[in-house]
Structure 1
Amino acid sequence: MMKGEDSEEVEIDLGDSSDPEELDNGEEPQTLWRAPPSLEEEEDIHTSILVEISDTKPLINVRDPRGINDCLKVTFEDVIAEPVSVRSGDRVWIWSNALFEVSRVWIYRIVTAILAIPLSIISGLLFAILSCIHIWILGPCIQCILMGMRWLQSLWSIVLGVIVHPFLTSAGRCCGGFSIHLAKE
């Protein structure tokens, strides 16, 4: 922002309640911007909690709660940086920054408006089909195979317990006596 010659600076004290001078009198800091809930809001509290638990309610404020796309937090300074020895004009830098941010945001919004709904439908359809196949075909088939192969499981555990385990235990005890000492000459 540019200041005119006749403009005055105005300092606004927001009264930060965390200042130690204000808390010396022993009073609790008072929050003036939070109003107590009305009677209608108190009755709606129970229904609003049920709405917040819903699986289908989108998370508007937290759209990446697991941090899947943390690598895409790109700013202008991550892409374009001028060294100290070579500088463009201040106005060029400011306008470049503004145009970068505006074009990045609006092109993303336009592309997502065009592609988000069709890709969401395709993804939902794909995951539904894969879930159905896994639940109703693969799961029962694997359980049938495991039921029919119980004898092979018990045979394999006997082979491991009688032959492989004693052999590897004795090999480990034989090799456990070796020690290597590195000395600097």
Structure 2
Amino acid sequence: MDGLRKGGDSEEVEIDLGDSSDPEEFDNEEQPEVLWKAPPDWEQEERSHLSSVVDISDTKPLLNGRDPRGMNDCLKVTFEDVIAEPVSVRSGDRVWIWSHALFEVSRVWVYRIITVLLAIPMSIISGILFAHLSCIHIWMISPFIKYILIGTIWLQNLWNVVLDVIVRPLLTSAGQCCGRFNIHVAEE
């Protein structure tokens, strides 16, 4: 208890907080375990309940997971995927370094410039196209299919009877006949 008194001698204790900025520690994409978390005070808890409603949005962009389904995995192109020198033929080291740097810079900046010019118009065109397709599907195609299904219920019932009376017994008996065959493979 003497170590807890004010002004008493205290031992220096080193605590490893597990700095997550070290990429070597979590190579297999494991997240560090949270050992403790301070409970929020009453005002922070109230603000978190109010702000969670505001934060949830269908139009909020996904900044970290822009390709969550991996639709464009084929476009993960690096310099080594495009340009490679065999051992027998080599350019100078400076040429290799500069070509690598220029490749990366031009790839990134040309993509950014093109997306600035085309992303917003293509987003508007795609939104209009999908809105039209959704409207046509919801208000024309689905009701038409339901209308056809309701109008042809007698044909569906007739088809079920034909399948039950003619096709099913025929295929069942063919399966029973062919089910008795045994094939043995022998090595010579």
Deviation at 1:39, TM superposition (A): 7.0
| Corresponding pairs, count | 160
Deviation at 1:16, TM superposition (A): 6.9
Distance change >3 Å, CA 58–CA 88, structure 1 → 2: same
- Letter aligned with residue 134 of structure 1: H
Distance change >3 Å, CA 36–CA 94, structure 1 → 2: farther
1:73 aligns with 2:76: yes
In the alignment, what sits opposite 2:5?
none
1:177 aligns with 2:180: yes
1:155 aligns with 2:158: yes
**Identical counterparts, % of pairs:** 70
TM-score by length of 2: 0.76
Check conservation: 1:76, 1:100, Cα contact below 8 A: yes
Distance change >3 Å, CA 17–CA 60, structure 1 → 2: closer
In the alignment, what sits opposite 1:132?
135
CA distance in 2, matches of 1:48, 1:70: 35
In the alignment, what sits opposite 1:106?
109
RMSD (Å), alpha carbons: 2.6
CA distance in 2, matches of 1:109, 1:96: 20
Query: For 1:93, which of 93, 96, 100 is the aligned residue?
Result: 96
- Superimposed CA distance per residue, residues 62-117 of structure 1 (whole angstroms, 9 cap, x where no aligned partner): 11111111111111111111222222211111111110000000110111111111
CA distance in 2, matches of 1:30, 1:150: 63
TM-score by length of 1: 0.77
> Is there any run of 5+ residues in structure 2 with no aligned partner, and where?
1-15, 20-32
In the alignment, what sits opposite 2:168?
165
Distance change >3 Å, CA 68–CA 150, structure 1 → 2: same
CA distance in 2, matches of 1:96, 1:37: 52
In the alignment, what sits opposite 2:65?
62
